């Protein structure tokens, strides 16, 4: 069983809508949670991280964490065509050093 799971998509939303991206993880002492964005042919870049239960907002992005349900999500408000990319969920587990375990990514397409 994969430790971090995401729906591969593609997820298609109209411009201006809210895009909701979801991720579940196995409970092996999960520590912190990250969302990376990867444009086609490019390397992943960090969007947000979250450590505590609840919501964390940064501009149009909101990360939501529910440790009891082993669930982390990313909401993108007022989606733009430039948000079209693959979104990678990553988890850092206790006693695993600094490495991140990534999900397979969700492809998001924002239609004008």
Positions in the binding site for other proteins (CB under 8 A): 4, 6, 8, 31-32, 34, 42-46, 49, 88, 90, 92, 96-105
Residue 87: beta bridge partners?
37, 106
End-to-end CA distance of the chain: 37
Task: State how far the Cα of 85 lies from the Cα of 60, in Å rounded to an integer.
Answer: 15
Write down the least CB distance from residue 23 to other proteins, Å. Answer: 11
Residue whose CB is less far from other proteins, 16 or 29: 29
Shortest distance in whole angstroms from residue 108 CB to other proteins:
14
83 three-state secondary structure: helix
Shortest approach of other proteins to residue 96 CB, angstroms? Answer: 8
């Amino acid at each position: 069983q994969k430790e971090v799971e995401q729906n591969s998509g593609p997820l298609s939303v109209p411009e201006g809508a809210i895009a909701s991206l979801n991720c579940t993880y196995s409970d092996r002492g999960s520590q912190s949670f990250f969302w990376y964005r990867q444009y086609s042919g490019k390397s992943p870049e960090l969007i947000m991280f979250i450590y505590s239960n609840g919501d964390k907002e940064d501009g149009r992005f909101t990360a939501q964490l529910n440790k009891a349900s082993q669930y982390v999500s990313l909401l993108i408000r007022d989606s733009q065509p430039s948000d079209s990319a693959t979104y990678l969920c990553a988890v850092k587990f206790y006693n695993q050093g600094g490495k991140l375990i990534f999900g397979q990514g969700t492809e998001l397409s924002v239609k004008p």
